[in-house]
């Protein structure tokens, strides 16, 4: 199976005042052509860091310290700057967090979209103009608003314009990094529907980064669950239909169940571990209701639990019992008490 | 920590306690300043100038206008620095060191009086304008606009040449020039302060306008007023020096600006460097030391200014 | 755009109000002038009729309010009357002196703004570098040292000690006279060098410190990441950042020019530059009140107009500013 993106043993380290923090510690996954992959986890788990590393926009104190990001046969970690510049936006584009001001406030939307085309292709002005109109129509924006400045758009419109800008050069891979934060719920659905539509209609390869398990369940073909810089579970729809990892079980509890609307939402108590000085053993052990002494000593490897489905837990043999108990809020409350 | 933003305090805290808190914040502000290297240097230089000003009668070998006579009973004109006159003499035979020391008194007096006057006036106008709003605000702010439209140095030159030049007039002019900035800054501060819960609470408790304004709001703008006093001292001294240098100063006092004017008129820049450099350097050192202090204070109020 | 138009009208009304206030203050001031302005022309030998003729000539026999209205009207139409000593009408003298002042401050301002913007932008972009720290320290030093003492020092060293540069004036004796001949002449530039550099040494600090801090602010913006992800060249990205960081500079430069126009008196005196500030000082010393009055008015007016420009430009260059 030809992969568009192949991330292997990726390690990303931030220099902080307290020392080196390994935000991503050996993450591997791949995205096949036309696939829609969801990367899910709590904030601070390293998922956005991976998105930034793919686009090469890590902040100044962050660096890839190991592994590869293979994109259509080019290693994005070691690629020459000129080649990276050529690939950016023409082959891989980004839809950023909507809370983020992705547009330069002093240029019009059209100028900024046009700038992306001109940086990569020599097209006549009319062709570029036509392209912008076509894209605005695709995301449901009125072409007359092209000459507007970003502040004249609402948050939802800005995000749709951002999607249009991501599509401007017809890239192979689109990375959507928490594209709906800060938008109200109805607009969130519209934005996700647009992205899904682009995936379905144009056959784009997508990487969606989110903390929302329900969003992934609704949109993605496959899913990677991350916790504290590591992959906990990785697989197809089975990951949220029948999770193997206690963390995934917890995450599924924290969001409304599509099949069982009455079930109460339970959140996982506690906070992720300190990445400057991570604990030995399983990183989730401190918050896990099923953790044993072994979990705190040895790190569990990723084990294939079904074809194309892996999970990293010492207690995969007890998965039925864990699934059963995970549905009971008391289980998580007890773990919460233990955390305190 | 000195902080411009007032923390939300218990609504029923007594006004006296609020004042005490404001004072305490100042004291700790001073401690923070002392931890700042440039600020400490600035403070040391200022203390030196204050000492020179206070002790001028003891330190200065001659009076500000006293003519030095040599052993041959002749006037010692334009003598270079030496054992008798450490910093030399002027073309009229006056001792430069003595003039310099007496000049520190004038600088300090002008600086402090004009700073206190302008900040008092500016704070008052800012408080009233921001607190009452409406037509009072409108009138006071248009007054500020007019004050901003008056070019200071030219205006002061015209006024001093119409009236008899005197130090008091110079101070009044500097006050007239300086109050406007303080007024605008304090006003905008008051606009945000008056929406804070502790002001509502005081109003609900039946406090009158005067009480709210002076016991609840005023203590919270004090850190800013303090900053403007320091800036005012610096600007006041600079403006007096500039005005005097241009020949519009009070001829009856010996200020650094007057010294520079006399030296400039006499062409001392060609011949008598010892007459030009001391007042110029003293002025620069004084102005810069206050700048070091205010900058540090500003950096504490607004850490983003800092380099690194 | 109607919001903007309403704002412009409001702003113009305010300008008119302030100008009127300043004119009134000046009228009162010059009414208080020591002695009768005619005293200068009036000889002890003059007969009472001759004195009265003089007063008639100067309109001093009219009621005060007529004099006031005439005064305001004259000032607004730049009819400044005649100098007591110079043959030319005051309006011509003013035009000439304003031009001379501009000949000193405009080149210095251009150098300060262009160079200061570049240095400040680079300092902000390279946050934490030795270059940034040295730039900030030097700027703060130059900003706080009194510039007229710097001028005196420069004069002492370069004109009197080293004798490299002329000690004052705009051109040498018998130098070029017309504006364009002057600008084209070496003489003018040699004379400008010293006062110009002293001016730059102070005025450059503003753009440097401003650009640095607004660049730091822009550097934290999210849109820079997107520009990078778009595959733009580093050059294009810095252009975007600078364009954003420049917004506050435009207003700053207008205000700074206005302040400079009234603040350069000191340097004009030190370097014997025949500008409007030096003219005011001389007129006050000579009791040439028509000239003094006109100089004060012109200096106030230039400052006010530049402040107006600053306020209006602010809305034009930043698309986010609204007036509704």
- Tens of pLDDT, residue by residue over C53-111, are 766 766 667 788 888 888 888 888 888 887 877 888 888 889 889 999 999 999 999 99
CA-based nearest residue in chain A for residue C240: A104
The C-alpha of B213 sits at a distance from chain C's nearest C-alpha, in angstroms, of 29
Q: Which contacts qualify for A290-293: CB closer than 8 Å, 24 or more apart?
A: A290/A246, A290/A315, A290/A318, A290/A322, A290/A325
What's the pLDDT tens digit per position in A181-229? 878 888 888 888 888 988 888 888 999 999 888 888 888 999 999 999 9
Q: Does B303 touch chain C (CB under 8 A)?
A: no
C vs A contact (3+ beta-carbon pairs below 8 A)? yes
CA-based nearest residue in chain B for residue C258: B151
Architecture of domain A3-225: 3-Layer(aba) Sandwich (3.40)
B vs A contact (3+ beta-carbon pairs below 8 A)? no
Q: In this predicted structure, what is the pLDDT of residue B15?
A: 44
The angle, 0 to 180 degrees and rounded to 10, between the axes of the packed helices B273-301 and B15-35 is 120
Q: Does C141 touch chain B (CB under 8 A)?
A: yes
Q: Which contacts qualify for C67-74: CB closer than 8 Å, 24 or more apart?
A: C68/C24, C68/C27, C71/C23, C71/C27, C72/C20, C72/C23, C72/C24, C72/C27
Q: In this predicted structure, what is the pLDDT of residue C7?
A: 86
For range C132-152, the mean pLDDT: 87
What is the percentage of chain B residues whose pLDDT exceeds 90?
Answer: 10
Q: Does A88 touch chain C (CB under 8 A)?
A: yes
For range B267-281, the mean pLDDT: 82
Torsions phi, psi of A226, nearest 5?
-115, 145
Residues 6+ apart with CB under 8 A from C247: A106, C214, C314, C317, C318
Q: Is B223 or A133 the better-scoring residue by pLDDT? A: A133
The C-alpha of C75 sits at a distance from chain A's nearest C-alpha, in angstroms, of 41
What's the pLDDT tens digit per position in B78-136? 777 777 777 777 777 778 788 888 888 888 899 999 999 999 999 999 999 988 888 99
Architecture of domain B8-307: Orthogonal Bundle (1.10)
Dihedral, A230, A42, A247, A261 alpha carbons, nearest 10: -150
**Would you state the structure tokens that stand for residue C320, as one six-digit string?**
């986010």
CA distance B297 to B26: 11
Look at strands A205-210 and A173-177 and give their pairing.
parallel
Question: Under a CB-based contact definition with an 8 Å cutoff, are residues A227 and A212 in contact?
Answer: no
**Would you state the structure tokens that stand for residue B11, as one six-digit string?**
């609504």
Q: Does A104 touch chain C (CB under 8 A)?
A: yes
Q: In this predicted structure, what is the pLDDT of residue B29?
A: 56
Chains with 3 or more CB pairs under 8 A to chain A: C
The C-alpha of A88 sits at a distance from chain C's nearest C-alpha, in angstroms, of 5
B191, pLDDT greater than 50: yes
Domain residue spans of chain B: 8-307
Q: Which of C263, C147, C146 is nearest to B289 (CA)?
A: C146
CA distance C321 to C311: 11
For range A225-247, the mean pLDDT: 89
For range A71-88, the mean pLDDT: 89
**ipTM of the complex in this document:** 0.85
Residues 6+ apart with CB under 8 A from A80: none
* Of A261-265, B285-289, C195-199, C237-241, the least confident: A261-265
Q: Which of B304, B121, B128 is nearest to B229 (CA)?
A: B121
Q: How high does pLDDT run on average in chain A?
A: 87
CA angle A14, A17, A21 (to 5 degrees): 30
Domain residue spans of chain C: 3-76, 91-317
C116, pLDDT greater than 90: yes
> Under an 8 A CB cutoff, do C285 and B247 touch?
yes
Q: Does C115 touch chain B (CB under 8 A)?
A: no
Query: What SS3 class is residue A74?
Result: strand
Query: What SS3 class is residue C233?
Result: coil
Q: Which of C208, C210, C256, C271 is nearest to C106 (CA)?
A: C256
Torsions phi, psi of B9, nearest 5?
-110, 165
Question: Under a CB-based contact definition with an 8 Å cutoff, are residues A147 and A108 in contact?
Answer: yes
Q: Does C14 touch chain B (CB under 8 A)?
A: yes
Look at strands A230-235 and A62-71 and give their pairing.
unpaired
What's the pLDDT tens digit per position in C158-178? 888 888 888 887 877 777 777
Q: In this predicted structure, what is the pLDDT of residue C204?
A: 93
Q: In this predicted structure, what is the pLDDT of residue A255?
A: 65
CATH number for the domain running over C91-317: 1.10.3720.10
Q: Which of C58, C147, C228, C310 is nearest to A115 (CA)?
A: C228
A171, pLDDT greater than 60: yes
Q: With beta carbons under 8 A apart, name residues in chain B contacting C128.
A: 308
CA distance A251 to A106: 41
Q: Does A159 touch chain C (CB under 8 A)?
A: no
B240, pLDDT greater than 60: yes
Q: In this predicted structure, what is the pLDDT of residue B8?
A: 32
**Would you state the structure tokens that stand for residue A196, as one six-digit string?**
């899904």
| C contact set with A (CB within 8 A) | 221-223, 225-233, 236, 240, 243-244, 247, 318-320
> Under an 8 A CB cutoff, do C152 and B276 touch?
yes
Q: Does B164 touch chain C (CB under 8 A)?
A: no
Q: In this predicted structure, what is the pLDDT of residue C207?
A: 92
For A267, which DSSP code? P
Q: pTM higher than 0.80 for the full model?
A: no
CA distance A58 to A14: 9
Question: Under a CB-based contact definition with an 8 Å cutoff, are residues C311 and C269 in contact?
Answer: no
Torsions phi, psi of A170, nearest 5?
55, 60
B24, pLDDT greater than 60: no
- Give the number of C-alpha atoms closer than 13 A to the C-alpha of residue B55, restricted to the C-beta side: 8
For B308, which DSSP code? -
A1, pLDDT greater than 70: no
Chain C, 273 to 302: residues with Cβ < 8 Å from chain B are 277, 280-281, 284-285, 292, 295-296, 299-300
A263, pLDDT greater than 60: no
- Separation of CA C153 from chain center: 23
Q: In this predicted structure, what is the pLDDT of residue B16?
A: 47
CA distance A199 to A211: 20
> Under an 8 A CB cutoff, do A56 and C229 touch?
yes
A19, pLDDT greater than 60: yes
Q: In this predicted structure, what is the pLDDT of residue B4?
A: 34
A2, pLDDT greater than 70: no
CA distance A65 to A79: 15
Confidence of residue C20 (pLDDT cuts 50, 70, 90): very high
């Amino acid at each position: 199976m030809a992969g568009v993106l192949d991330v292997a043993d990726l390690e990303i380290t931030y220099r902080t005042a307290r020392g080196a923090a390994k935000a991503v510690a050996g993450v591997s996954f791949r995205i096949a052509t036309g696939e829609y992959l969801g990367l899910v986890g709590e904030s601070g788990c390293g998922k956005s860091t991976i998105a930034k590393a793919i686009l090469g926009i890590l902040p100044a104190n962050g660096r890839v310290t190991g592994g590869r990001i293979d994109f259509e046969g080019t290693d994005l970690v070691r690629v020459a700057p000129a080649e990276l510049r050529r690939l950016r936006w023409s082959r891989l584009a980004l839809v950023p967090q909507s809370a983020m001001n992705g547009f330069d406030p002093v240029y019009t939307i059209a100028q900024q979209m046009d700038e992306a085309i001109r940086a990569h292709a020599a097209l006549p002005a009319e062709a570029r103009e036509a392209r912008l109109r076509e894209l605005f129509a695709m995301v449901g924006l009125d072409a007359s608003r092209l000459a507007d400045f970003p502040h004249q758009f609402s948050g939802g419109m800005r995000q749709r314009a951002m999607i249009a800008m991501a599509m401007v050069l017809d890239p192979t891979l689109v990375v959507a990094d928490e594209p709906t934060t800060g938008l109200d719920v109805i607009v969130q659905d519209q934005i996700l529907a647009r992205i899904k539509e682009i995936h379905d209609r144009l056959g784009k390869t997508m990487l969606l980064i989110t903390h929302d398990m329900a969003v992934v369940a609704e949109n993605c073909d496959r899913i990677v669950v991350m916790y504290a810089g590591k992959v906990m579970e990785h697989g197809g729809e089975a990951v949220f239909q029948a999770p193997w990892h206690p963390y995934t079980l917890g995450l599924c509890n924290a969001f409304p169940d599509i099949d069982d609307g009455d079930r109460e939402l339970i959140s996982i108590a506690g906070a992720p571990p300190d990445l400057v000085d991570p604990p030995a053993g399983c990183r989730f052990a401190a918050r896990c209701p099923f953790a044993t002494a072994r979990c705190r000593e040895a790190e569990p490897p990723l084990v294939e639990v079904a074809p194309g489905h892996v999970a990293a837990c010492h207690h995969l043999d007890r998965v039925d019992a864990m699934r059963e108990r995970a549905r009971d809020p008391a289980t998580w409350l007890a773990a919460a008490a233990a955390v305190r | 920590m000195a902080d411009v933003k007032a923390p939300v305090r218990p609504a029923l805290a007594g006004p006296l306690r609020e004042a005490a808190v404001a004072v305490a914040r100042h004291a700790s502000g001073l401690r923070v300043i002392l931890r700042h290297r440039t600020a400490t240097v600035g403070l040391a230089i200022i203390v030196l100038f204050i000492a020179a000003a206070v002790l001028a009668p003891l330190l200065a070998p001659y009076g500000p206008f006293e003519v030095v006579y040599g052993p041959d009973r002749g006037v010692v004109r334009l003598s270079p620095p030496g054992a008798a006159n450490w910093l030399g003499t002027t073309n009229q035979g006056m001792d430069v060191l003595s003039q310099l020391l007496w000049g520190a008194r004038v600088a300090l007096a002008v600086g402090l009086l004009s700073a206190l006057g302008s900040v008092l006036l500016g704070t008052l106008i800012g408080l009233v304008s921001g607190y009452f709003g409406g037509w009072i605000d409108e009138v006071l702010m248009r007054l500020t606009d007019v004050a901003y439209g008056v070019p200071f140095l030219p205006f002061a030159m015209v006024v001093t040449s119409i009236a008899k030049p005197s130090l008091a007039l110079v101070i009044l002019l500097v006050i007239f020039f300086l109050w406007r900035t303080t007024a605008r800054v304090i006003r905008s501060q008051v606009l945000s302060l008056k929406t804070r819960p502790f002001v509502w609470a005081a109003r609900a408790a039946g406090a009158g306008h005067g009480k709210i304004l002076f016991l609840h709001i005023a203590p919270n703008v004090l850190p800013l007023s303090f900053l403007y006093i320091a800036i005012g001292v610096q600007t006041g001294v600079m403006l007096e020096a500039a005005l005097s240098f241009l020949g519009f100063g009070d001829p009856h006092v010996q200020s650094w600006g007057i010294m520079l004017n006399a030296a400039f008129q006499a062409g001392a820049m060609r011949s008598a460097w010892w007459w030009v450099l001391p007042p110029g350097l003293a002025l620069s050192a004084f102005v810069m030391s206050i700048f070091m202090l205010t900058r540090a204070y500003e950096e504490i109020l607004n850490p983003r200014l800092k380099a690194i | 755009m109607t919001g903007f138009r309403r704002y412009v009208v409001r702003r113009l009304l305010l300008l008119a109000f302030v100008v009127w206030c300043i004119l009134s203050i000046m009228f009162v001031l010059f009414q208080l002038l020591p002695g009768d302005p005619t005293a200068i022309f009036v000889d002890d030998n003059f007969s009472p009729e001759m004195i009265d003729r003089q007063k008639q000539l100067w309109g001093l026999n009219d009621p005060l309010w007529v004099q006031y209205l005439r005064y305001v009207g004259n000032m607004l139409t730049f009819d400044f009357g005649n100098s007591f000593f110079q043959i030319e009408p005051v309006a011509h003298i003013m035009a000439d002196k304003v031009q001379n002042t501009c000949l000193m401050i405009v080149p210095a301002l251009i150098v300060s703004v262009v160079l200061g913007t570049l240095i400040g932008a680079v300092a902000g972009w390279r946050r934490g570098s030795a270059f940034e720290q040295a730039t900030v320290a030097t700027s703060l030093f130059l900003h706080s040292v009194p510039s007229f003492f710097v001028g005196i020092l420069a004069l002492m060293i370069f004109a009197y000690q080293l004798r490299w540069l002329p000690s004052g004036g705009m051109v040498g004796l018998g130098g070029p006279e017309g504006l364009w001949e002057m600008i084209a002449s070496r003489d003018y530039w040699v004379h400008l060098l010293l006062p110009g550099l002293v001016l730059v040494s102070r005025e450059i600090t503003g753009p440097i410190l401003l650009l640095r801090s607004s660049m730091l602010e822009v550097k934290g913006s999210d849109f820079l990441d997107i520009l990078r992800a778009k595959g733009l060249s580093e050059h294009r990205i810095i252009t975007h950042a600078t364009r954003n960081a420049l917004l506050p500079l435009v207003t700053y430069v207008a205000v700074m020019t206005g302040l400079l126009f009234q603040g350069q008196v000191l340097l004009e005196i030190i370097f014997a530059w025949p500008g409007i500030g030096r003219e005011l000082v001389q007129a006050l010393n000579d009791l040439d009140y028509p000239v003094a009055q006109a100089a004060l008015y012109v200096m106030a007016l230039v400052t006010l107009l530049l402040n107006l420009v600053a306020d209006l430009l602010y809305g034009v260059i930043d698309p986010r500013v609204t007036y509704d």
